[in-house]
Amino acid sequence: MYTYDQRRKAIELYLKYDLQVDPVIKKLGYPSRRILYKWYKEYISQGGFPEKHTKKSIYSDEQKHTAIEYYFNHGRTLSHTIQVLGYPSKIT
């Protein structure tokens, strides 16, 4: 799996080298031809680089704070805290 910055750098070099794959792979040591073509196709279809994706939290900061306070003030039982607050799972 490559980072957003690695992908962006590879595409920038690919464009700089007039769509030549070998110089990009030689300079960076990655990606494969197939992957670079795939990234370029995505780049063209999206009209540029997509924004960096950040994982959005399921729970708000306020909900997390409430859960932590309840957990520490009521016996430190995770399953009980989840049940009382109505949260669906232990995953955060």
pLDDT at 53: 64
More confident residue, 5 or 57: 5
Distance (Å) of CA 4 to CA 11, 39, 43, 50, 64: 11, 11, 12, 9, 29
pLDDT of 1 higher than 80:
yes
Sequence-ordered list of residues with C-beta below 8 angstroms from that of 42, at least 6 positions apart, any chain? 50
| Per-residue pLDDT tens over the stretch 50-66 | 776 667 778 889 988 99
- Distance from C-alpha of 89 to C-alpha of 92, rounded to nearest angstrom: 8
What's this model's pTM, rounded to 2 decimal places?
Answer: 0.56
Domain ranges, ordered by start, for the chain: 4-46, 55-92
